[in-house]
């Protein structure tokens, strides 16, 4: 598809309008947070110091909503994203102010997911394998529910460093929007551009050293919206493109799954926080520092995004690239002991071949 000048300027307007709104609303949000005393609490896991407002997601949410209302005509799908996003945003905002229990937060997320599935019909509708269409029915709804709640939390879990969650979300939306454009899904591109603009306006204030955090309200809202967009973009899909959302969202998904396994193996609860997430490992064990750790994860997210795009044009080439990236990631997990100190299948194999001991980091 060749882009015309008109298409480029139109796409720019979708992006710049929420960007400017976000730039305006972030300082206002900071004042609101300071006046209400809504600061990020310092603890053993945090890496910030001082009083930093933690409801920056409010600026992203308002900019996105106003731009959506301005540019798009409402239908059931768009309304479901707006309504469900508002519900999960409110749950996160209440948590930022009052610290809700994990169960209470999950209830907000579950309701939002149900709005998307039953009102907006945002679900996987089927899979085509060897030109045979498979209708999954209830299983499709269940998978969609788990996907929306899972991605919503995954984006929130990586929100541990300045600009990390917002930057990864920006890269993810860029990939979803580009593949949506290649597939001729104009409305997916528009929504991605709008949310990207809102994120970038906030990221200017959120990149290290951050003067404001997005908080749970922002991270959960981004996670929910990204989850819905990924389902919309690939809801009627071939077997190979079913993996696109997973590839695009590899960083938050893998970090979440590794964290769950790590806590299970160590006898801790799934909800117990720790300091062994990918960003913690890169920052402290690998000694990259705050800014370089964030940039390194940006690169990883971008590589998996490129992998998804390559897969769209060349399935075999995409699978080869994906295999190489997964191999490198597994070696990193083993070397750093990110999952478990005893998990070393590939490193043990290399040690046997080379007759050299590889000390874990």
Residues 311, 243: Cα–Cα separation, whole Å: 10
Amino acid 130: pLDDT: 43
Q: Where are the alpha helices (DSSP H) in the chain?
A: 5-36, 57-71, 76-98, 102-114, 138-157, 164-182, 186-206, 215-233, 244-248, 250-265, 278-280, 290-313, 315-336, 345-354
Burial of 135 (0-12, 13-18, 19+ CB in 10 A): exposed
Q: Is the dihedral of CA 339, 329, 173, 279 positive or negative?
A: positive
Would residue 39 count as lying in a domain? yes
CB-based contact 271:102 (threshold 8 Å): yes
pLDDT, one tens digit per residue, over 13-31 is 999 999 999 999 999 999 9
Would residue 74 count as lying in a domain? yes
Would residue 196 count as lying in a domain? yes
pLDDT > 90? residue 140: no
Would residue 361 count as lying in a domain? no
pLDDT, one tens digit per residue, over 305-353 is 999 899 888 889 988 999 999 999 999 888 888 877 778 888 888 888 8
Would residue 94 count as lying in a domain? yes
Residues 190, 28: Cα–Cα separation, whole Å: 26
Residues 170, 168: Cα–Cα separation, whole Å: 5
CB-based contact 172:248 (threshold 8 Å): yes
Tracing tokens 């992203």 back to the chain, one arrives at 60
Element (H, E) at 243: none
Would residue 207 count as lying in a domain? yes
User: Which residue range forms the structural domain that includes residue 258?
Assistant: 5-354
Percent of the chain with pLDDT over 70: 86
Residues 218, 226: Cα–Cα separation, whole Å: 12
CB-based contact 155:223 (threshold 8 Å): yes
pLDDT > 60? residue 135: no
DSSP letters spanning 145-196: HHHHHHHHHHHHHTTTSTTHHHHHHHHHHHHHHHHHHHTT-HHHHHHHHHHH
- Which pLDDT band holds residue 240 (cuts at 50, 70, 90)? very low
- Which pLDDT band holds residue 235 (cuts at 50, 70, 90)? low
Residues 336, 328: Cα–Cα separation, whole Å: 12
Amino acid 272: pLDDT: 64
Burial of 37 (0-12, 13-18, 19+ CB in 10 A): exposed
Give all strands of the β-sheet with 126-129 in edge-to-edge order.
132-134, 126-129, 236-238
The residue ranking higher by pLDDT, 265 or 167, is 167
Would residue 360 count as lying in a domain? no
In the chain, the number of structural domains is 1
Percent of the chain with pLDDT over 90: 48
């Amino acid at each position: 598809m060749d882009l015309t000048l008109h298409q480029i300027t139109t796409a720019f307007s979708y992006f710049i309008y929420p960007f400017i709104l976000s730039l305006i609303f972030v300082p206002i949000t900071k004042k609101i947070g300071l006046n209400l005393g809504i600061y990020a609490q310092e603890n053993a896991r945090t890496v910030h110091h001082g009083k930093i407002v933690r409801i920056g997601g409010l600026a992203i949410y308002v900019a996105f909503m106003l731009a959506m209302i301005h540019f798009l005509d409402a239908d059931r799908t768009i309304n479901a994203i707006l309504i469900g996003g508002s519900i999960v945003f409110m749950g996160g905002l209440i948590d930022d102010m009052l610290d809700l229990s994990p169960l209470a937060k999950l209830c907000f997320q579950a309701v939002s997911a149900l709005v998307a599935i039953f009102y907006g019909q945002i679900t996987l509708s089927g899979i085509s394998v060897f030109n045979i269409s498979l209708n999954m029915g209830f299983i499709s709804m269940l998978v969609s529910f788990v996907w929306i709640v899972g991605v919503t939390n995954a984006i929130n879990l990586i929100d541990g460093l300045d600009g990390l969650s917002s930057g990864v979300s920006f890269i993810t939306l860029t990939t979803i929007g580009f593949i949506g454009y290649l597939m001729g899904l104009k409305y997916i591109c528009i929504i991605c551009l709008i949310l990207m603009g809102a994120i970038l306006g906030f990221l200017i204030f959120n990149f290290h050293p951050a003067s404001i955090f997005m908080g749970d309200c922002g991270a959960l809202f981004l996670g929910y919206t990204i989850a819905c967009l990924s389902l919309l973009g690939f809801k009627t899909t071939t077997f190979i493109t079913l993996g696109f959302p997973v590839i695009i969202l590899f960083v938050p998904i893998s970090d979440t799954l590794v964290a769950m396994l790590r806590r299970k193996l160590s006898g801790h609860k799934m909800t117990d926080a720790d300091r062994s997430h990918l960003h913690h490992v890169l920052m402290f064990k690998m000694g990259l520092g705050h800014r370089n750790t964030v940039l390194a994860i940006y690169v990883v997210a971008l590589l998996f995004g490129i992998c998804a795009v390559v897969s769209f044009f060349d399935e075999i080439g995409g699978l080869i690239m994906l295999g190489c990236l997964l191999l490198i990631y597994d070696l990193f997990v083993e070397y750093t002991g990110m999952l478990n100190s005893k998990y070393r299948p590939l490193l043990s194999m290399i040690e046997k071949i080379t007759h050299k001991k590889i000390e874990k980091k």
